Structure 1
Amino acid sequence: MQKFRSKIDWWILAFFIAMSGLLLQLVLTMYAKGTLSQNLLFAVVYTLTIVLIWWPVLNTRYVIDKDTLVITYLFFKWKIPLSNIQKVTKTDFSISSPALSLDRLRIDYLKDGQTKFILLSPRNKEAFCQALNITLQ
């Protein structure tokens, strides 16, 4: 079993840090003013939002286990048999996907007789393709 983490673009990381800092500042301001107990619901919502912001960073991973590629992202999990993977190509397509970078790989695979694709951004693309036993196109 090989595990690969998602590459994270600097601007995505900067956005996560800025949003977390802003929300944390709001909670700390409520605490400093002594209004935290009066605005407990807001503090809880802000704290949960910080957790949700960082969840993709901590949770996005690609696991190659025997004959299956397992992709985990937030609440979602994809399982793609390695035998169904047709090709892997480099792309910077910006459609929503389980990738935290625009430096991506497009994985074309068969599902129920139809060709589908998913976009991933492993940190080490070459090692990822070697683990898939597929040459990068």
Structure 2
Amino acid sequence: MQTFRSKIDWWFWGVVIATTGLLLQFLWTMYVKGTMQQYPEHAALYFLTIAILWWPIFNTRYIVTEQHLTIRSMLFKWQINHSDITKISTSHNLISSPALSLDRLRVDYQKDGVASHILISPKDQQAFCKALNQTLSEH
């Protein structure tokens, strides 16, 4: 079993850090003004938002075993049989996916006879493809 972490783009880091800083500033202001007890739901929402922002950074990963590719991100999990993978190619598609970078791989596969795909962004794309025993084709 090999685990690959997602590559994280600078802009993703920027959004997460800037938003976290803004929310921490809101919390600090509430604390200094003494309004945290008056509006505990606001404080809870700010803390929850910070946790949700950081969750994919610590949780998004791609696990290659002898039989499967398992993709995990937040509460989501995809499991794809190696034999169902038809092609892996590079992509820069902006569509929502379990990828924290725009330097992505498109994994095409068959699920119950239906063609499908998912976009992922392992840090080391060549090692990832090697672990899957697949060749990377340019899109």
> Structure 2 length as normaliser, TM-score?
0.96
Question: What is the one-letter code of the residue matched to 1:90?
Answer: T
Question: What is the one-letter code of the residue matched to 1:36?
Answer: M
Question: What is the one-letter code of the residue matched to 2:61?
Answer: R
Question: What is the one-letter code of the residue matched to 1:104?
Answer: R
The alpha carbon displacement at 1:21 in A equals 0.5
Which residue of the partner structure matches residue 122 of structure 2?
Answer: 122
Q: Which runs of 5+ in 2 are unaligned?
A: none
Which residue of the partner structure matches residue 19 of structure 2?
Answer: 19
Deviations 1:74-132, CA, capped at 9 Å, x for gaps: 11100000111011001101111110110000000010111110000000000000000
Alignment of 1:59-74 (within 5 A): 59-74=59-74
Q: Provide the aligned length of Structure 1 versus Structure 2.
A: 137
Q: Which runs of 4+ in 1 moved over 4 A?
A: none
The alpha carbon displacement at 1:41 in A equals 1.1
Instruction: State the distance in 2 between where 1:133 and 1:84 align.
Output: 13
Instruction: State the distance in 1 between where 2:15 and 2:134 align.
Output: 34
Which residue of the partner structure matches residue 6 of structure 2?
Answer: 6
SS in structure 2 of the partner of residue 66 of structure 1: coil
Which residue of the partner structure matches residue 39 of structure 1?
Answer: 39
Are 1:99 and 2:123 an aligned pair?
A: no
Alignment root-mean-square deviation, CA:
0.7
Identity %: 54
Q: Which runs of 5+ in 1 are unaligned?
A: none
